[in-house]
Structure 1
């Protein structure tokens, strides 16, 4: 049997994996590499750090303010958010599985200087490409289910992994190759869809007391 602390650590680890799946690190890494293909390694790493810092701040701000907005502004319950978040996960996963971003979609980023590129990294790179409604709803649900401390720890763990992945992006791309990263990304989408279905089922069961 787990103790209370061990149970929290276990929950934190499981939630961090769920958040990582939603963040789709391998899929986003290949897209970010394509968007910054002509940049020097130092500028690319600076850009990736800027994306991660911005995305992390967005998630943490929403984590603390989301429950208040959910209850007192929009007057929706956690189960309502579960169903909506599940639908978003299914739609996003289906879109990523069926439609692949084309190289020409990223060409306009390669003509920007460093300052403009860093400014452009906030939208769309940090939001909504890396962090979107699916990530935000997953974080809120984790906080409501397991507590704010566990959710915060899970988010920190997930972004720590993302930081390492993006820091060594060039090395990973050279060793693993874009094709394998693409395959990993597609496999992750199936699990994201399954997470979305599970969230919808739990939400419906709770609403109708099944």
Structure 2
């Protein structure tokens, strides 16, 4: 075990960019409105557990079920695509009955938004370059940030107001759509190569 501050900082920043919790605020607020409440602790813990397990067993699990990382990323891109469509068009694709606080805290919040294909494939690529303990510390730092944002999303909603949230939701919906398309195109090319 060799702790390297530079590796921790880089891995934290890369994961922070991929998870994009700030960009996900409108989705969090929308989920909170649908389900009435979101369990910040549960969502953060589930996301952390999924990321750490995937860090150690990700490639093995995917190989075991006959899926490669690129196929996994393409599937995740579809989920992100539909969440983005909900945000941009104001349509509901995930049924309201599916939006209990317990379920919404895990799906789609903890997985695939926080611990999704983007962050999980990023973890696999970080593992190839960095010491595993530095990556685990980076995951923990990101989970602390995620928890803080989830806990304060109600306050952010009051500060921004309905129109502010709607504008941010549309803008970040387009950004999320672009991320989904990028994730799809970069991984679909790998599948055909």
Q: What's the TM-score, normalizing by structure 2?
A: 0.71
Structure 1 position 187, deviation (Å)? 1.9
The gaps in structure 2 that reach 5 residues or longer are none
The equivalences for 1:2-13 within 5 A come to 6=6, 9-13=9-13
Pairing partner for 1:192 from 161, 176, 184: 176
Preserved contact between residue 59 and residue 131 of structure 1 (Cα < 8 Å)? no
- Structure showing greater radius of gyration is 1
Q: Aligned pair 1:66/2:58, yes or no?
A: yes
Which residue does 1:20 correspond to in 2?
20
Distance 1:57 1:127, change over 3 A: same
- Contact persistence 1:28–1:129 (CA under 8 A): no
CA distance change for structure 1 residues 33 and 159 in 2, over 3 Å: closer, same or farther?
farther
Shift of 1:75: 1.8
Please state if 1:48 is matched with 2:40.
Answer: yes
Any stretches of 5+ residues in structure 1 without a counterpart?
37-43, 110-119
8 Å contact kept, 1:82–1:200: yes
Paired residues, number:
184
Once the two structures are TM-superposed, the CA of residue 150 in structure 1 deviates from its matched residue by 6.3
TM-superposition CA deviations, 1:143-198 (whole Å, max 9, x none)? 22222556545543433222222333443233222332332233222222222222
Q: 1:125 is matched with which residue?
A: 104
Which residue of structure 1 lines up, in the alignment, with residue 164 of structure 2? 180
| 1:81 correspondence with 2:60 | no
Alpha-carbon deviation of 1:19? 0.9
> By how many angstroms is 1:126 displaced?
1.6
2: distance between equivalents of 1:99 and 1:21?
20
Give TM-score scaled by structure 1 length: 0.66
* 1:204, distance to aligned residue in structure 2 (A): 3.4
- The Cα RMSD (Å) is 3.6
Q: In 2, Cα distance between the equivalents of 1:164 and 1:53?
A: 13
